[in-house]
Amino acid sequence: MASLLTAAAGLNLIARFVGGVFPLVDAELAVWQKTAARAEPGLADQALASVRDKRFHCQGGGIYSLYPGVDTARFVRLVVALQTISDYLDNLCDRAGVADEGAFRQLHLAMTDALDPAGGVHDYYSSYPLKNDGGYLAALVAACREEVARLPGYATVQPAAAKFAMLYSELQIYKHLDPAVREEKMAAWGARHLAAYPGVTLWEFAAACGSTLGLFMLCALAADPDLTGEEADTACEAYFPWICGLHILLDYFIDLAEDRSHGDLNFVAYYRDPDETLARLTHFWRQALDGAGRLSQPAFAATVVYGLLAMYLSDPKTQAPLENQVATALLGAAGGYARLLHRLCRLLRKRGTL
């Protein structure tokens, strides 16, 4: 249960988030929309679709622009650019009829390049059938590099950020392969990492790899010129696999019925039944909240954790009978603060803000 102090701080944060950050996100996305329109038709379609349909990803990441000491406007630029790279590449791998591992690997060098301000630039489309994006992806990478280079503590977090970006990229490479080889490839990939995360299944580990929240948290910490390696390590332990895992497991949870009907990969579908789904989501929530309490800004971190529950479980897709059963029980276990944020998110959805 959140303390009254945490709840008050969290509601204040949410008010600043919706009223101040959402308009900044929309302004940044409008800039990238114009750049995306210059690409050749196939690439422009996917770039514009990612900006149009995945706006809420950028909105969610924008919460980190309100972390103490962060320059909000500049950080929103970083969040939108990095998240747009992620969403655009996801579309290129998922919706363009391509299933080539080498092409996916080359495309995702943009994620690691974006977080390396002194690194080189790759030909991201060298193995992809479409080539001319009008400079869109390179411009997104450059924007990220400009912003991380401004962060005075970035050298402290850069190794961890590079690791998170690598794991994210590897997941995207394998999860978009042909279903005939996808599971075997993912199992072999996960086996190289799972020993470091006891008590987490392959599919839960994969879910954690799919979140960009750990990257945003590390960059927010890097706004502090006196950031220590110990603080960065504590954040990594809280976020991976727990907060990141909770994030993407909830994302897959709300898409469960839709993915099942289309035969799409869904990490939550590997749970035996709704009871196991509830038990594991509850476990991830509790571990995430415990990790949040050890961070230097525990009220901020707790609001992120409760906010994930509220945002995803307020989605209309959770009204299906089985999903509603799990969502209701999870919100009940999370307590009054989670339910309050849940009601707030439902209101924002009705108004079209979220």
Q: What is the pLDDT of residues 39-77, one digit of tens each?
A: 999 999 999 999 999 999 999 999 999 999 999 999 999
- What token pair was written down for 298? 């525990």
Please state, as a whole number, how many other Cβ atoms lie within 10 Å of the Cβ of residue 300.
21
Mean local confidence (pLDDT), 267-283: 97
Q: Taking 90 as the threshold, does the pLDDT of residue 297 lie above it?
A: yes
Which residues, other chains included, contact 67 with Cβ-Cβ below 8 Å and sequence gap of 6+? 75, 217, 220, 221, 223, 297, 300
How would residue 2 be classed by pLDDT, with cut points 50, 70 and 90?
Answer: low
Q: What is the dihedral of CA 331, 336, 340, 345, to 10 degrees?
A: -20
Please give the Cα distance from 341 to 327 (Å, whole number): 14
Instruction: Specify the pLDDT at position 193.
Output: 95
Question: Looking at the predicted structure, is the pLDDT value of residue 5 above 60?
Answer: no
Among 266, 31, 257, residue whose Cα is nearest residue 139: 31
Q: DSSP secondary-structure letter at 240?
A: I
**Percentage above 90 pLDDT, the chain:** 87
Q: Per the structure block, which two tokens stand in for 234? A: 């504590």
**11 pLDDT above the threshold of 90:** no
Looking at residue 136, its pLDDT comes to 98
Quick one: how many helices (H) and strands (E) in the chain?
Answer: 19, 0
Task: Among 31-35, 131-135, 162-166, 350-354, name the one with the lowest average pLDDT.
Answer: 350-354
If phi > 0 it is left, if psi is from -120 to 50 it is alpha, else beta; for residue 116 that is beta
Q: Which domain holds residue 65?
A: 4-350
Residue 167 has a pLDDT of 98
pLDDT, position 1: 45
The model's confidence at residue 6, banded by pLDDT at 50, 70 and 90, is low
Total domains in the chain come to: 1
- Tokens representing residue 214 in the block: 């750990």
- Residue 95: pLDDT over 80: no
Out of 7-16, 191-200, 277-286, 336-345, least confident range: 7-16
DSSP 8-state class, residue 153: T
Reported as a pLDDT band with limits 50, 70 and 90, residue 261 is confident
Mean of the per-residue pLDDT values of the chain? 94
CATH label of the domain that carries residue 179? 1.10.600
With a cut of 50, say whether residue 206 has pLDDT above it. Answer: yes
Per-residue confidence at 98, pLDDT binned at 50, 70, 90? Answer: confident
Q: Quick one: CA torsion of 56, 290, 14, 333, rounded to 10 degrees?
A: 80
Q: Is the peptide bond before 198 cis (omega within 30 degrees of 0)?
A: no
- Comparing CA positions, the residue from 109, 107, 122, 134 lying closest to residue 41 is 134
Structure tokens at 351: 């108004």
- Report which DSSP code applies to 135: T
User: In this model, does residue 211 exceed pLDDT 60?
Assistant: yes
C-beta separation of 214 from 243 below 8 A: yes
Residue 329, classed as helix, strand or coil, is helix
Token couple for 38: 């210059």
Q: Would the pLDDT of 3 be above 60?
A: no
Is the pLDDT confidence value at 343 over 90? Answer: yes
